[in-house]
Amino acid sequence: MSPTDPPTDQNLLTVRGLQKSFGANRVLTSIDLTVARGQVLALIGPSGSGKTTVLRCLNGLEVADGGRIEIVGADAAATAIDFDAATAAGKPVPRKALGALRDQSAMVFQHYNLFPHKTVLENVMEGPVIVQRRPRAEVEAEALQLLTRVGLIDKKDSYPFELSGGQQQRVGIVRALALRPALLLFDEPTSALDPELVGDVLRLIKELAAEGWTMVIVTHELEFAREVASEVAFVDGGTIVEHGDPRQMLRNPQHERTRQFLHRLL
């Protein structure tokens, strides 16, 4: 279940000067972040500040306009894209490079985004079999093991609409794990859930953190961020205003904008 190599001090993810605009809307002005192998970064900040866009750029779902992303996978090979170079050359980022970046991470979405017409097992197997072209029997064995682990083996032939939101999100997490990514990305994984279903999902994410998975988590759950994150970063206006140890930063923020944001939430 856990990433194959033990956590080291090496940075698994390095982002420098990441920029992204949608038309005239400059959403990411300049994002810098690093996440060491086995560490968990929580991104917090007001709605519309660019947190989801950061995750989507990391996962190649959006193409950044500037800056650099580097992910060092389990085999120690670096996948990097220099978006400045592509923009300066006036050329689109090659699809192959984006595909290589996408292969390094897996995203867990706020609204689960399961395929509605596929069963739970088919949802989990789709990426590894179709995209990664791994042997079906091996993928199925691993998928069944993962579903057992999260208590959903008896739902393997069910369709998403037959599951609660919490169960769907646990399938979403299993689907991400089945891709064996270097990096797990969570986009507000509990914000669509009824309050009584939040606990199970947060517990599972905490277990994965304890096992050494490297993660970036966008969350409004400050208590959860405090417990699970090695570092928390406050995003506002498309940049990281402040980052640090969760216990220190959430209790004693240095910037006025962070203080105002936390004050509204606590």
- Looking only at residues 5 through 44 of this chain, which bind ligand ADP when binding is defined by CB under 6 A? 22, 25, 27
Q: Which of 49, 79, 104, 214 binds ligand ADP (CB under 6 A)?
A: 49
How many beta carbons lie within 10 A of that of residue 162, not counting itself? 12
Q: Under the criterion CB under 6 A, does residue 47 sit at the interface with ligand ADP?
A: yes
Which CA distances in Å does 163 have to 155, 176, 203, 249?
8, 18, 19, 37
Judged by CB under 6 A, the residue of 31, 35, 39, 52 near ligand ADP is 52
115 makes contact with ligand ADP (CB under 6 A): no
Angle at 56 between CA 55 and CA 59, to 5 degrees: 90
Residue 219 touches ligand ADP, criterion: CB under 6 A: no
Among 2, 8, 48, 131, binds ligand ADP (CB under 6 A): 48
Residue 71: name the closest of 61, 82, 80 by CA: 80
CA dist 115 to 74, 143, 158, 215, Å? 28, 16, 12, 24
Contact 105, 185 (CB under 8 A): yes
Instruction: Tell which residue, 146, 128, 145, 147, has the closest CA to residue 136.
Output: 128
Residue 225 CB, shortest distance to ligand ADP, in Å, is 15
Q: What's the closest the beta carbon of residue 257 comes to ligand ADP, in angstroms?
A: 14
Tell me how far, at minimum, the Cβ of 22 lies from ligand ADP, in Å: 3
CB of 218 to ligand ADP, least distance (A): 6
Task: Name which of 163 and 232 has its Cβ closer to ligand ADP.
Answer: 232
218: exposed, middle or buried (Cβ count in 10 Å: 0-12, 13-18, 19+): buried
Residues 143-182 close enough to bind ligand ADP by CB under 6 A: none
Q: Site residues (CB under 6 A) for ligand ADP?
A: 22, 25, 27, 45, 47-53
